[in-house]
Amino acid sequence: MRPRLASLLTAAVLALLPGTARADATYPDPQPLTGEQIIHDPTVIRLESGGYVAYSTGGIIGARTSEDRTHWDDAGNAFTTPPSWWYAYNDTGDPWAPDLSYRAGRYWLYYAVSSWGTNHSAIGVATSPTGLPGTWTDHGKVFGSERTDSWNAIDPAVIRADGRLWMSFGSYWTGIRMVELDPRTGKAVEGATVHHLATRPDAPYAVEGPYIVEHGGRYYLFASYDTCCAGADSTYRIRVGRSTSVTGPYVDSTGEPLLEGGGDLLLAGHGRYVGTGGESIFKDRGRDVLAYHYYDAEDGGTPKLGLNTLTWTKNGWPDLLRGRGRP
């Protein structure tokens, strides 16, 4: 028997044995990392000065830094103390799900303040000349939601499109929304229309954490579906749709609208990498990189940083680079 055939047959037999772990053939594992890997809802950027910084839910927006995108160090928090206005939305001054970008010579950090299970929520913004922790100046509330609204103002993500600035956001409460921002202040324009981008057919409309990128003249909406924050029991997965307009409508590769529950599955849990979601995308040397968290089933469900290079098919749909190493 040829060695390759023997190897395939052995793998097939092992896959049928109870309790036997096997690599998933559909989804690639994240890039191997070292150092401080614990993170939740990561946003990552390659700094103008070189190196990388990642911010996340936890602490007063937890920070990680890296020189090579492989080894990560704990860098404390974005802020030394919570801005006082945060306490109107929770008792702990605890921010969630930041979004980091660079424009007009400054770094912009968007984040959410809320409490579990309520849409009494707000999105805030801060700026920094370097993007590093401890250098942020907070500028207050960008946009909010109340219990009478049908949306939840958390999980912000900002994109420039057609000379205008937009922010997608949303979690449950009928799904993903978008408003236009004033590029000078970084805050929602007065009386901004709240566009509806994606939802699920039935309550509780479990879709959140949007992120939009432009590629090949189209806009791609990535979002996290199903259950977050349950450790190894989490069912988070990343789906995607696209549109010729940043405000939608978004559809998947079969033409099903994301407003009707559509969305191509890009990444789901596999092996030890459970509940993949909380995603964002950043540019690194001309390549798109998907950042997300997963819950490590071999480490008590601890949330950790996942990074995969994002590729694009001939039909213009996103895919993930196979193989564990960096390109």
Which residues are catalytic, by number? 41, 208
Give the span between the Cα atoms of 306 and 97, in whole angstroms: 15
DSSP 85: G
Sign of the Cα torsion 71, 214, 267, 225 reads: positive
Distance, CA of 295 to CA of 70 (rounded, Å): 18
Contact 167, 142 (CB under 8 A): yes
N residues, the chain: 327
Question: Rounded distance, CA 312 to CA 214, Å?
Answer: 12
Per DSSP, the three-state class of 232 is helix
Phi then psi for residue 298, to 5 deg, are: -95, 5
Distance CA 137, CA 99 (A): 15
Q: How far is CA 239 from the centre of its chain?
A: 11
Q: Which residues contact 165 (CB under 8 A, 6 or more apart)?
A: 158, 159, 180, 181, 182, 183, 186
Q: Which amino acid is residue 236, in one-letter code?
A: Y
CA–CA gap between residue 127 and residue 98 (Å, rounded): 13
- Tell me the HSE value of 220 on the side-chain side, using a 13 A CA sphere: 23
One DSSP character per residue, 252-270 reads -TTS-BGGGT--EEEE--B
Answer for the pair 98, 128: CB distance below 8 angstroms, yes or no: no
